[in-house]
Amino acid sequence: MIDLLFELSLFTGILIFLVCTVLLGAVIFLVFHHLNTKINLSKRHSQVGRVLFRTSASLLALLLSFTYASQRVDYFKIKQSLELEASQIVDIHMDLELFDEPEAESIRQKIRNYVLVMLEEGWKPVSESPFQSRTYLFFFEIYQDIHKIEASNEFQEQLKTNLIADIDEISDHMQVRFYQTNAETPFLIYIALFGFVVVMIFFSVYTPDKITIAFISLFNAFIGLVLYFIVMMNNPLIGPLQIQPESFQILKEAIDTELN
């Protein structure tokens, strides 16, 4: 079910979440209000329900805000890792040009191929088997070549030190991306859904007129919107909010310009 959600467009996914939360909230509200009329809640019990509704709604909002903030941080961590990886590839490419050896030119060509593979392969093969993807295999070959390159003078020794530092940092950035490859739902979503049901039960002490239902429907729609973005940002390599490697596209354009 979760995999199907990532195949939908942004508009369709949001619409499904909005409709589901609004309908679910309305059903729970109306069913429990009907039960309340059957058992003839006292005025004191109704007041308790109103207080608990406000309290639980505040707790739900707090939980969703913390969860959203956490997923947003992780989402942009992946995006930043791509940008940093691309910038360090540029550094490596420039240092290799200064190295002025046949081995260095060979590595530069492999770096060009690596950038192209990154754009051609996309993220899906990475999510299935990160360390068997073409992207990783190309990178590992570059990693080995840089460590094996021979420096013949002090200047080249310094360049090699810089190259090794850059390629090691690229490895770290790749692992940040690899660790985010499995599509899953954060467990706090289930807690939030339980809290949503509890809020609707407490809200059932209010009389269901048109204005009341309209207000609670807007509230539920907003919750559905937040839940959708939490789920999507928790899986940054797939789905309609999939992070795009714009920095590598810029690299490809620079490579094409250089070759021409």
Q: Where along the chain do its domains lie?
A: 2-259
Question: Residue 184: its pLDDT value, please?
Answer: 60
Give the whole-angstrom CA distance, residue 247 versus residue 250: 5
Question: Residue 186: its pLDDT value, please?
Answer: 67
| Spans in the chain with pLDDT lower than 50 | 125
Question: Residue 65: its pLDDT value, please?
Answer: 92
Give the whole-angstrom CA distance, residue 213 versus residue 221: 12
Give the whole-angstrom CA distance, residue 153 versus residue 176: 35
Model pTM? 0.81
